[in-house]
Amino acid sequence: MNETTRLQGRSVRSNIVFAFAVALALYLAWLLRHVLLLLYVSALFAVVLKPLVSFIADLRVGRWRPFRRIGIVVLLLVVLGALAVFGFLAIPPVIDDLRDFGKEMPTRLPLIQDSFKRIPFASRIDVGALTTRIESTLTDSAAYVLRSAKNWAGAIVNLAMGFILTVYFSLEGQTAYGWALSFFPADHRARLDGALRRAEIRMEKWLLGQGGLMLILGLTSTVTYLSLHIRYAYALGFLTGLLNIIPVVGAAMCITLALLVAAVDSWGRVLGVAIFYVLYLNLENSFLTPRIMKSSVDLPGLSILVGLLIGSALAGVVGALVSVPTTVLVAVLLDEYLVTKEA
């Protein structure tokens, strides 16, 4: 009886210690949530970019493979170089136009006010108060940008760390993967490894599907901007295709930016851009995305939308960016461990 009581007491103490250990681990995870998110996103990108890295690593010059070990570095340098060239070509014209617009504002403002008064019911609006309000808003926005310089610096540091971590995960990912699997019991290790391998294949296909959607939107929007004579048509088209990697959020950012640029010249161009996006988004949501994503990640549209909402709520733009691959991972694990298979 004493032995039984002693064993029960030891079991209770073990359970209490285990509960405290779990609580401490969860508390540490909450404190380090930003670091863990950076590690997760970097590891996820290393997995998603694996086909492109393998393609670059397999390039040959005769019998020599120059990029055998540094395929990921070459890929990321190419991406950063393309973004740098884009900024070098696109930003100076925008700055020049903003400078000219500022110089012309005193002469253009009366014309804008006259045009505004011709709009029905606009005579009831105090244009002077509206102008003052706009100027105050612009001033507050500029002050906010200056105050948030520290946050921008932190974002740049995180981006650089994400770049470095992605390189390391691509080069040493298999070692880290084997180390993580070693924490699980040996009899469950093979099953988990098989599920993660299947998820990896589907996540790699996501990049191909998303790349197709980005290319289609980039080309069609560029053609539309050129036909409507929108300023910076090529730069806007490139940016529109690039931002489409972020589901829904990227498209919303592109629409807003394109409408603002079109509004500088004429309301007719604004209407043209709006009509294009209404038609394209309906085409993409009803035809392109279901077929491309269904064939690449094999997920229903509702699952993708729910994953996007959860990712955006938890981590903002970064969460939206990795929402679809994460949804694929969760779907595979749920299918492996929770869904009852028919005999």
Phi, psi of 61 (to 5 degrees): -120, 95
Predicted confidence band at 114 (pLDDT cuts at 50, 70, 90)?
Answer: low
Per-residue pLDDT reduced to its tens digit, 286-304: 777 767 777 777 777 777 7
What is residue 220's predicted lDDT score, i.e. its pLDDT?
92
Q: How confident is the model at residue 123 (pLDDT cuts 50, 70, 90)?
A: low
pLDDT above 70 (res 24): yes
pTM: 0.72
pLDDT category of residue 22 using cuts at 50, 70 and 90: confident
Checking if the pLDDT of 331 tops 70, the result is: yes
Question: Backbone phi, then psi, for 60, in 5-degree steps?
Answer: -125, 145
Q: Where residue 335 falls among pLDDT bands split at 50, 70, 90?
A: confident
3-state secondary structure of 298: coil
CA distance 211 to 188: 35
Return the pLDDT at 142: 52
Label residue 106 by pLDDT band (50, 70, 90).
low
Phi, psi of 69 (to 5 degrees): -105, -15
Q: Is the pLDDT of residue 50 over 80?
A: yes
Mean pLDDT of 31-40: 87
- The CA angle 85-242-300, to the nearest 5 degrees, is 160
CA contacts within 13 A on the Cβ side of 144 = 6
Q: Between residues 282 and 103, which one has the greater pLDDT?
A: 282
pLDDT band at 223 (very low <50, low <70, confident <90, very high): very high
pLDDT at 121 over 80: no
Residue 147 clears pLDDT 60, i.e. is over it: no
Specify the residue for token string 């950076």: 38
Render pLDDT for 160-212 as a digit per residue (tens, 0 to 9).
888 888 888 887 888 888 888 888 888 888 888 888 898 888 888 888 888 88
Check residue 327 and give left, alpha or beta (phi > 0: left; psi -120 to 50: alpha). alpha
Mean pLDDT for all residues in the chain: 77
